Structure 1
C-alpha cells in the first residue's frame, strides 16, 4: 500500500488501541533487509517493495493479550505516565487488582476490572456514597481503554443475589457492627441513623455483597471465625459469679480482692482482666469506676456515664484500658480489660465480646463485701506500666 493508505491504517489502529500511541510507518528504501516471518517461524524470501509498507505496519502491531469480557471502572485519568503509575500504587492500597491503561490520545487510566455489567451497576453508586470511589469514576468497556500498561485483576465484586437474604434481628446486627468497629451506639434493637450508617460501612468495606442481609451474614460469619481462631472460651468466675467470653489462654488467675476478681497476664501476654460485682446501684457503680481510674487500669479515661451504665476508655504507650459496668438486678457489676497498645483492633473486638457476653450465673460469694482500697499501682503482677 502507499504511504497515505499506511498512515490512514495506522491511525485507525491507534484509535482502536491496537498499537502503541508512538507507533509509526517506515517507508522502504533500497538496501533495507526486511524478512517476513511465516507462521512456522521459518524465514521467507525478501518481500517485494509493494508489500514492504504492509510489513512495516504489521511489524508495528504488538501482540496484545485478549481482554476478558466485562466492564471496567475508571478510577482516575492522568496525562503524565509517572503520575499515573504513582496513582496506581496508591489505588492498589484500596483495590489490589487495579490496572493501568494508555489510550490512543496518550491518556492514562487507572482501572478496576473486569466486572460484570450487573456488578458494576450495583457497586459503583454504593462505593461512591461511601467515598471509596471518586465522584467522577465511571464504567466503560475495554474497547476504549487502549493498551494495557500494568496488568490488573478482576475484583471480587459480586452481582446482587437473585434473592436477598433477610436481615437478622437488629440486636444481632448492632452487636456484629460494634465488634467490627462500625457502630458506637447501644445494643438496643432500634433502627436509626447510626445503625444504617454501620450497615452501609460494612457493605463498602467488607464488599461481600451490596445486599444488606448478605453483607451482615458475611460479617457474622467472620466474627464466628475470629472467635474460633482466637481461641475464646467462656469463663465462670466463682468469686463474682459472673460468666464472660474471654481469652483465657492469655490470662491466669491472680487473686480475689473483695468485689474484684483479678486475672493477670499469662506468659507475658500483656493482657489483664478484672471482673467486679457487688450489691448496690448507681453510686456503687460510680465508686467502682473511680477505683478503676485510681489504679491506672484505664489511663486518662474518656467517660460515658448514664443511669445504670458506665464506660471508661483510655490508653497510654503501654496499654489500652476499657472498663464497662452496669446496674442490674441490684448489683453493680462489670469488667475491666487491659490490652497491649500495639493491638488496637483485637482489643476493640475483645471488648465487644466481653460486653455482649457478661452475665450473672448466681449471687456472688462477695455480695456483702465493700470496695477494696485504692493502691499505689495496678496491683497486677506482670502488667507493665509506662
Structure 2
C-alpha cells in the first residue's frame, strides 16, 4: 500500500480544503497551482523570485499555519488541471504540486509591494489558456461541524457517496478493505488515521468539510492521471487505465500495447490468449527473460496464476496473468523508480479494475507471427537470451542438479529450466553441483547403476542439444564402447553417440534406466580430430566421489531388466534439466 502522506506540501493541500466549506463548487470556479510552501518568509521570497523568472503569474501568500505558499494563477478550474498536467510532464514544477482554491490564502508577500517582478522566460500554459485574474479570492473562515452534526450528515449519505469516501481513503493509503459502502471498524480506523495525519481530532467520523476535502483531493488526482474505463473488445478485457499518461499503440498477439504519453515514462501491456497450464508456464518463462523485466524482484508462479516484479536502478516493472476457462488474461506495467509512488497507485487501480470479459481472446491473425519471429521479438518485447544453455540432471529430492563446470563458468546468474534461480554449491574436477533458490519437487531423480555396462550395450543420452530452443529434453540413442579414455585414462566412459554442445552435462542411461555417467563437453583445439560420434562421459565412481564431498548421497540401482521405450524416455527426460548461464 502506498504511503499515507507524500510530503509537507501535500499536507498543506489537504489543509486548504479543511479551512472552508463548499470546496467542490469553489474548485469549479477558480483554482491555483501551489508549487511550494516554506516556513521562512525570506526563503519563500527567494523561491518565489526563482519561479517568477519562468512564470509571470507567480504569487505568494501567507497561510493560516504560518507557512508561506508559492502559487501560480489564478486559473479557471478546468484549465488549471490541464496546466498542472502539462507543467508536471515537462518537469517545470515539483511533482507534488497540486490545485487549490486559494481560500486559505492570507496577506500576499509576493510580488513585493512596490517592487518589480523578474521578467519570465517562458509561459507555462498552452496558447489557448485564458488570461488569469489579477488577485485571488479570499473567503472568511467558518466553524466546522460538531461530532453530533458530523454523524447526522454522514447518516444522510447515499451508498455511492460512502463508497466514494472508501475509495478515496484507499487511494491515499489509509484503507485496505472492500469498497462496499458499509462503515465498519476498518473504515472508522482509516478515517481516524486520515484525521490524525492532518492534525485533526481522530474521531473516526468525518465532518462534511473533511469529506469534501478527501473526495475533492481524490478527484483531483484521478483527473490528473486521466483514469478511464477501457473496454478492449478484441482482447476481451475491461480495465481502468491512466489515459493522461498512456495511449493505445498496437496489437501484437498475445499483447495489446499502450505506449507512454506526454513523456510519462509509463507503458502498459494487456495480455490475452487462449491456452492451458503449459501455455501459462511458457508465457511466464518468456516474460521473466524480457529486457524490460529486471531479474531482481519477486517471482511467484502457480498452476493457474503468476506474478512477476522486476526492479533495477532504472526500471520498475511488474506483470500478472491468470488462466481461467481456457483463456489467459493479464497485464504488465513498465516504469522507472523515479515514478515508483505514482505507478504503484496506478498498478493498484489496474489490478483492482481488471476484468476478463466473455470467452474472447486476442486473435493471433491480427499480426503475422512470422514477422515477429523474424525480428527476434516476442510480440514487440525484446527477449533477453542466456549466454549458453547446457544440460544437467537431478541428483537430490530437493532439486539439487549435477552439471559440468563449463556450464556455469563466468555466469552472472544461473537458472534451471528457465525460471528457477540456482547457485553453485560445489565445483571441482569438471563437475558443478547446483542448488535451487527454493526447494523443487523433481519428476525423477537419478539412480546410478551399481553394475558396469557391457561394451556394445545400448545407451541413451537425455539433454538439450539445441540449448533450450526446444521445450523439452531430447533422447539420443547410442552405444557404450568401453571404460576408460583412448589412452586408458580412468574415470571415463567412451561412447559412440552423436551429440551437440548443449548435451554436455546430461545423464547417460543404460537400457534399465540406471545412470552410468554424465556427458562431458567435447575437447576442442587438440592436434587430433576424433571421428564423428566419439564422445566421453564421466563414470559413476567419479560422480559419487564429487557428490559425496558436496554433501549429496547419490541413489543407486542394481541390475534390472530393460525398460519399455516409453518408460525409459519418461524417466530420462524427467530427471533432465536445462541449465542456462546469464550475464
TM-score using structure 1 length: 0.46
Structure with higher RCO (Cα < 8 A, 6+ apart) = 1
> Which structure dedicates a bigger proportion of its chain to helix?
1
TM-score using structure 2 length: 0.32
> Which structure dedicates a bigger proportion of its chain to strand?
2
